[in-house]
Chains A and B, each alone.
Chain A
Amino acid sequence: MPVLLARTADRLFWGARYVERAEDTARIVRAYNDLVVDFPSQELLRWEPLLALHGSDGDIDIRPNDPAGEKAVVAKLLADADNPASIASAVASARENLRTTREVMPREAWQSINQLSQYVSATAGAAVERQLRDRFLLRVIEISRRLDGILESTMTRSSAYHVLRVGRLIERADMTTRVLGVAAAGILALEEAEHGELVHDEVRWMNVLRSVSALQMYQRAVRGPIKGDQVVEFLLFYGSFPRSVQGCFEELRVVVQQLPHEGEVLAALDRAQSVLESVGPHGDEIELLDRAMDRVQMAIAELAATMHELYVSSAL
């Protein structure tokens, strides 16, 4: 089996994470976009919790239903080169990382990344407009999916492949917890504004599911009307769904066993798993959910740090 340079492993890990981040952000904004259309103008709809996705809130002053404010948030998420969490930044970072790993990836894979980067840098600015937005987001998701398809169907199951998978899965698990965290924060904000009386609860939870493309799968798995605690349960623990945190952990467990130092990595994964399991289904206790998601994110970050230490820092 071909060897994998420590430096290359680091770039692959981050390249994969950034592509996944761009894709997941696109899914989230798409779902929100859908929600906006559903809510007539009098309804309270807040875009700014979205900025909390990567902790970049606070510096945009917007009021609900202010179209300029909405555009500012979307611009920040899609096109802002200064926002490291925007789709444009994530894609640029993915390309910069993967440009240095071309020799270990199928050529077609590099071409999709390159195509994604060209598409995003040419279109992200214009996609802030609502007419173009959905098409843009869909295209980002599609190219990212195509990249995964190319890797899945044409790349040797080498260490390089496994490291790319690890990057994807860690970022995906992290993003799912962030979607839940943001949802919790958004609902909290509304509760405050509406004095504890929450309207259209199910629509909001439906949106949470859509943000991770989980609505349909949720409905097939969980019968009955959509309930907050069940949504949380599904997105955290329903292991058969590949974007649930549990699903990501299960796949990670298989992948890391193909890599060196698997004992130490599995131990770190066990620690993350037990943090995850300590989370109750807090669909009804929003404040607790928000804090629990912070804990899971930290556990995921620790897992990533352990792998970085074992594969990269200790080698270089």
Chain B
Amino acid sequence: MDELRDESGAPRPVAAALLELIDQLGEDELRARQDLAEVDIRTMGITFTVYSDGQNIDRAWPFDIIPRVIDGQEWDHISLGLQQRLVALNRFIDDLYNDQQIIADGVFPADLLEASVNFRPECRGIRPKFGAWAHISGSDLVRDATGQMYVLEDNLRVPSGVSYVIENRGVTKRAFAELFEQQRIRPIDGYTDALNQLLTSLAPDGCDDPQLAVLTPGIFNSAYFEHSFLAERMGAELVEGADLVVPDDDCVYMKTISGLERVDVIYRRIDDLFLDPEAFREDSMLGVPGLMRAWRAGNVSLANAPGAGVADDKVVYAWVPDIIRYYLDEEPMVPNVPTYRTMYDDERKYVIDNIGDLVVKPANESGGYGILIGNRASKQELADAVEAINADPRNWVAQPILSLSTVPTLVEEGIEPRHVDLRPFVLTGEYSYVTPGGLTRVALPKGSLVVNSSQGGGSKDTWIVDGRYYQSQYQQFDDHGRSQTQADGQRQSQQQGTA
């Protein structure tokens, strides 16, 4: 299914203005604009770091100029569904570290928790503000052949990509300035301000003007650009572990040119196990000794809270619909992809019998590593996967092979459909916030389903376009260009938009 063109190849209404413009421009002009966009990306220093041949290389961010367009009404529904999902997941995490009511009620199996590698006993009994643990999350969405959007996975630890969402928009604004004049494309710039508000709201009680810091593993981390970007946009300090110290008073300080200065809220982009060598891995050079001590004492807030990852492994994923029903007494608004849990004998048998038609995923890997796509694997690979599942059934899940939707993409061969996914970012604290759109990742080789930028994927800007606006635009565009009626229509919807 292509998101911008219907089965006959005609533009879908939501993408009509965009595709019309692309037709008018022609491929050469489009390529010229793509080249300019790439120059912008290099000049603005939008990079990501890949580890290759023993070296960390700072590479220009891969970007495709043709945006993906999603209808505003559909998006409103998805956005509510994501808020619902994250509220429920946060209730779930808070419950696991405190009363464990969901286990007592028999909805979530106790042995799953016992086997979880992401459950942190160090976090038991802690009650973060607003009951929020996974403050910043990124859920990966995919659309199948019927057009249905599914949540494919949740990332509740240190999801990255939001800086590229914002930068991609900056680039397309210049590349397709004419469309931004004509359509109502929802802006995404507000994210960093919403994040700032969220982090500020997490400050320990009695702290009026909190000092925020973004904690990065350092310049060799693949997402260093993003850490720096977020600190810059929020006016927060960008700190590394060695910049912080926790003395005996259990407070966190940063080392400044005028001595130690207190830090109140830390947006940490270091994984749990590296966060504090006193509490977790002793050999971690990235973390801050005593950070957990300060957090438990309530002297610093950490986002995301340590231990939040307990709810984002691919096994817990299979219970999320039940979790939503249990805590909120609502039906999930955005469905899960049907998921088989190999820890159950019957589901494992189904997976092994049908492995050629399934995607098999390890429960705790990110970045697309270790995924086996049944219908593309060799006999040997399938046999190896069966063996791995039998050896450690809890570590695997399987899902039907979805026929991922495509979006037209400028590739060497011309403008061709390529598979995409979508990662919106969700903020959860006292209030919820969802980015309008998110990071669209695109698999550039023909037929490929691997969208990760570390494995050759690209990215696209994602436009949430508001309905009535583009429809009137489309009708007018075809026949007469801009007309009086159309201008009236625009004013109206603008007024409604800001009311």
* Chain A residues close to B by CB (< 8 Å): 2-9, 99-100, 102-103, 107, 110-111, 114-115, 118, 159, 163, 259-261, 310-312, 315-316
CA distance A315 to B257 in the complex (A): 7
Evaluate contact between A315 and B259: CB separation under 8 angstroms. yes
Closest B residue to A7 using CB positions: B243
Question: What residue in chain B is nearest A311 (Cβ atoms)?
Answer: B257
* A6, B232: Cβ atoms closer than 8 Å: no
**A163 contacts across to B, CB distance below 8 A:** 257
Query: Is residue B349 contacting chain A, with contact meaning CB distance below 8 A?
Result: no
Q: Are A3 and B228 in contact (CB under 8 A)?
A: no
What are 30 A-B contacts with C-beta separation under 8 Å? A2-B235, A3-B211, A3-B258, A3-B261, A4-B256, A4-B257, A5-B237, A5-B243, A7-B242, A7-B243, A7-B255, A8-B238, A9-B257, A100-B238, A102-B45, A102-B229, A102-B238, A103-B214, A103-B228, A103-B231, A103-B238, A107-B232, A110-B45, A111-B43, A118-B42, A260-B258, A260-B259, A312-B257, A315-B256, A316-B242
Task: Flag whether B236 is at the interface (Cβ < 8 A).
Answer: yes
Determine the chain B residues whose CB is within 8 A of the CB of A3 once the complex forms.
211, 237, 254, 256, 258, 261
Partner of A115, one of B43, B214, B232, B258: B43
Q: Smallest CB–CB gap between A119 and chain B, Å?
A: 10
Assess whether B240 is interfacial by the CB under 8 Å rule.
yes
Q: How far apart are the CA atoms of A103 and B261 in the complex, in Å?
A: 18
Q: A7-B243, A111-B43, A114-B44 are in contact. Are A103 and B236 (CB under 8 A)?
A: yes
User: How many interface contacts (CB-CB < 8 Å) are there between A and B?
Assistant: 76
**11 new A-B contacts at CB < 8 Å, known A5-B243, A103-B228, A111-B44:** A3-B258, A5-B254, A5-B256, A6-B256, A99-B219, A100-B238, A111-B43, A114-B44, A159-B258, A310-B257, A311-B257
Distance A150 CA – B354 CA, assembled complex (angstroms): 63
Q: Helix, strand, loop or mixed for chain A's interface? A: helix
Contact B43 A103 (CB under 8 A): no
Q: Give the chain B neighbours of A115 by CB distance below 8 A.
A: 43
The reply to whether B232 and A102 contact each other, CB–CB distance below 8 Å, is yes
Interface centre among A5, A6, A111, A114, by most chain B C-beta atoms within 10 angstroms, is A5
Measured between beta carbons, the chain A residues less than 8 angstroms from B228 are: 99-100, 102-103
Contact A6 B43 (CB under 8 A): no
Q: Mark B223-256, 1 if CB is under 8 A from A, else 0.
A: 0000011011001111110110000000000111
Q: What residue in chain A is nearest B254 (Cβ atoms)?
A: A5
Contacting A at CB under 8 A, from B440-486, are: none
**5 closest Cβ contacts across the A-B interface?**
A260-B258, A103-B231, A311-B257, A103-B232, A114-B45
Which A residues are CB-close (under 8 A) to B239?
A: 5
In the complex, what's the smallest C-beta–C-beta distance from B367 to chain A, in angstroms? 23
Contacts of B236 in A (CB 8 A): 103
Per-position 1/0 for B193-225, Cβ under 8 A of A: 000000000000000000100100001000000
Within residues 41 to 80 of chain B, which ones have a CB less than 8 A from any CB in chain A?
A: 42-45
Q: Please give me the residue from chain A that is nearest to B211 by CB atom.
A: A3
Q: How far is the CA of A310 from the CA of B256 in the complex (A)?
A: 11
- State in angstroms the CA–CA spacing of A259 and B237 once bound together: 18
Residues of A within 8 A of B259 (CB): 260, 315
Q: Say how far A311's CB is from chain B's closest CB, in angstroms.
A: 4
Residue of A nearest to B216 (CB): A100
How close is B236's CB to chain A, nearest CB, in angstroms? 7
B43 touches A315 (CB 8 A): no
What are the residues of chain B within 8 A of A9 when measuring CB–CB? 257
Which residue on B lies nearest to A310, using beta carbons? Answer: B257
Contact A5 B45 (CB under 8 A): no
How many angstroms from the CA of A302 to the CA of B232 in the assembled complex? 33
Cα-based distance from A2 to B212 in the complex (angstroms): 11
- The complex places the Cα of A259 from the Cα of B42 at a distance, in Å, of 35
Q: Which residues of chain B are near A5, meaning CB under 8 Å? A: 237, 239, 243, 254-257
Whole-angstrom CA separation of A107 from B219 in the bound complex: 18
Contact indicator B42/A103 (Cβ below 8 Å) = no
Nearest-CB distance from B38 to chain A (Å)?
Answer: 12
- Considering only CB atoms, which chain A residue lies closest to B231 in the complex? A103
Interchain nearest-CB distance for A81 vs B (Å) = 15
Q: Which residues of A contact B238 (CB under 8 A)?
A: 8, 100, 102-103
Bound CA span A159–B236, Å: 15
Expressed in whole angstroms, the Cα–Cα distance for A212 and B258 within the complex equals 35
